[in-house]
Structure 1
Amino acid sequence: MLNLCSIFTVLHSKYMKINKYNSLVFAVLFGFGLSGQAQTKQWTLEECVRYALDNNITIKLSELDVKNAVIDKRGALGSYLPSVNGNASHSWNIGLNVNPVTNIATTQTTQYSSLGVNAGVDIYKGLQNQNTYRRAKLSIISSQYQLVKMQEDVSLNVANAFLEILFNKENLKVKKEQLSIDQKRLARSEEMVNAGTIPRGDLFDLKATNATDQQAIIVAENSLLISKLSLAQLLQLKDFTDFDVIDDTNAKDENGILLQSPDDIYNKAKEIRTDLKIAQTNLEIAEKNVSIAKGAYQPTLKGFYQFSTSASYSDRTGLDANGNPITFGPDPIFTQFSDNKGHNFGFQLNVPIFNGFSAKNNVERNKVSFEKSKIDLEQKSLDLQRNVYTAFTDAKGALNTYESSTVTLEARQQAYNYAKEKYDVGLMNSFDFTQAQTLLTNAQSDVIRTKYDYIFKIKILEFYFGIPIIPIITK
Structure 2
Amino acid sequence: MIKKYILLTLFSSTIALSQTSDNILTLQDAVEMAIEKNISIKQSELNLLNSEISKSDAIGNFLPRVSASANHQWNIGRGINITTNVIEDITTSFSSMSAGVGLDVYNGFRNVYQLHRANLEILSSQFQLDDMKDDIKLLVANSYLQIMFNSEILKVQKSQLEITKLEFERTKDLIESGTFSPRQIFEIEANLASQEQSVVQAENNFRNAKLSLAQLLLIDDFESFDIAYEDFSVPFSDILTKTPKEILEKSLTFRNDIKLAETNISIAEKDIQISKSQLQPTVSSFYQWNTRISYLDNTPSFEDQFDLNKGQGYGLALNIPIFQGKQIRNNVERSKVNLDRLQNQYEQEKLNLENSINQAYNDLKGAIKLYEASNKTLESLKNAFEDASDRFLLGSVSSFDFIQSKQRYESSVSENIRAKFDYIFKLKVLEFYFGLPLSIPQSN
TM-score (norm 2): 0.88
Alignment of 1:42-121 (within 5 A): 42-94=24-76, 99-102=81-84, 106=88, 108-121=90-103
> Which of the numbers 112, 124, 128 marks the counterpart of 1:142?
124
Q: Secondary structure at the match of 2:121?
A: helix
**1:274 equivalent in alignment to 2:250:** no
Could you say which residue in structure 1 is the equivalent of 2:376?
407
**1:358 equivalent in alignment to 2:323:** no
Greater mean deviation of Cα atoms: 223-232 or 114-123: 223-232
For 1:450 and 1:147, how far apart are their aligned partners in 2? 33
For 1:241 and 1:330, how far apart are their aligned partners in 2? 87
Q: 1:96 to 1:192 in 2, by over 3 A?
A: farther
User: Which structure is higher in RCO with an 8 Å CA cutoff and minimum separation 6?
Assistant: 2
For 1:203 and 1:141, how far apart are their aligned partners in 2? 71
For 1:238 and 1:125, how far apart are their aligned partners in 2? 56
**1:377 equivalent in alignment to 2:375:** no
Could you say which residue in structure 2 is the equivalent of 1:331?
300
**1:247 equivalent in alignment to 2:247:** no
Could you say which residue in structure 2 is the equivalent of 1:208?
190
Q: Secondary structure at the match of 1:252?
A: coil
Shift of 1:224: 1.5
> Which of the numbers 390, 398, 403 marks the counterpart of 2:367?
398
Could you say which residue in structure 2 is the equivalent of 1:234?
216
Q: 1:201 to 1:99 in 2, by over 3 A?
A: farther
Q: 1:225 to 1:312 in 2, by over 3 A?
A: farther
Shift of 1:95: 5.1
The aligned amino acid for 1:77 is I
Could you say which residue in structure 1 is the equivalent of 2:10?
none
Greater mean deviation of Cα atoms: 164-173 or 66-75: 66-75
The aligned amino acid for 1:296 is Q
Could you say which residue in structure 2 is the equivalent of 1:256?
238
For 1:444 and 1:96, how far apart are their aligned partners in 2? 109
CA RMSD of the aligned region, Å?
A: 2.2
Q: Please give the per-residue CA displacement for 1:145-195, whole angstroms capped at 9, x wherever unaligned.
A: 122212222221111111011001101001101111111111122223334
Q: Please give the per-residue CA displacement for 1:77-115, whole angstroms capped at 9, x wherever unaligned.
A: 111121111222334445566554445565554433222
Contact 2:21 2:226 in 1 (8 A): no
* Higher Cα Rg, which structure: 1
**1:290 equivalent in alignment to 2:251:** no
Could you say which residue in structure 2 is the equivalent of 1:125?
107
Shift of 1:245: 1.2
**1:452 equivalent in alignment to 2:421:** yes
For 2:189 and 2:82, how far apart are their aligned partners in 1? 109
The aligned amino acid for 1:111 is S
Contact 2:124 2:263 in 1 (8 A): yes
Q: 1:261 to 1:114 in 2, by over 3 A?
A: same
For 1:135 and 1:290, how far apart are their aligned partners in 2? 11
The aligned amino acid for 2:158 is K
Shift of 1:287: 0.6
Could you say which residue in structure 2 is the equivalent of 1:319?
none
Q: 1:110 to 1:269 in 2, by over 3 A?
A: same
Could you say which residue in structure 2 is the equivalent of 1:421?
390
Shift of 1:387: 1.5
For 2:80 and 2:180, how far apart are their aligned partners in 1? 125
The aligned amino acid for 2:145 is L
How many residues of Structure 1 are paired with residues of Structure 2 in the alignment? 421
Shift of 1:421: 2.6
For 1:226 and 1:150, how far apart are their aligned partners in 2? 25
The aligned amino acid for 1:390 is Q
Q: Secondary structure at the match of 2:234?
A: coil
Contact 1:251 1:452 in 2 (8 A): no
For 2:230 and 2:263, how far apart are their aligned partners in 1? 39
The aligned amino acid for 1:424 is L
Q: Using the aligned pairs only, state the percent identity.
A: 41
Q: Please give the per-residue CA displacement for 1:248-267, whole angstroms capped at 9, x wherever unaligned.
A: 45343444212222222111
Contact 1:166 1:249 in 2 (8 A): no
Q: Please give the per-residue CA displacement for 1:26-85, whole angstroms capped at 9, x wherever unaligned.
A: xxxxxxxxxxx8861322222222333344333333333222222211211111121111
For 1:409 and 1:117, how far apart are their aligned partners in 2? 89
For 2:29 and 2:69, how far apart are their aligned partners in 1? 58
Greater mean deviation of Cα atoms: 153-162 or 413-422: 413-422
Q: 1:238 to 1:108 in 2, by over 3 A?
A: farther
Contact 1:87 1:116 in 2 (8 A): yes
For 1:449 and 1:110, how far apart are their aligned partners in 2? 96
For 2:68 and 2:221, how far apart are their aligned partners in 1? 56
Contact 1:251 1:451 in 2 (8 A): no
Q: Secondary structure at the match of 1:87?
A: strand
Q: Secondary structure at the match of 2:290?
A: strand
Contact 1:251 1:455 in 2 (8 A): no
TM-score (norm 1): 0.83
Greater mean deviation of Cα atoms: 382-391 or 451-460: 382-391
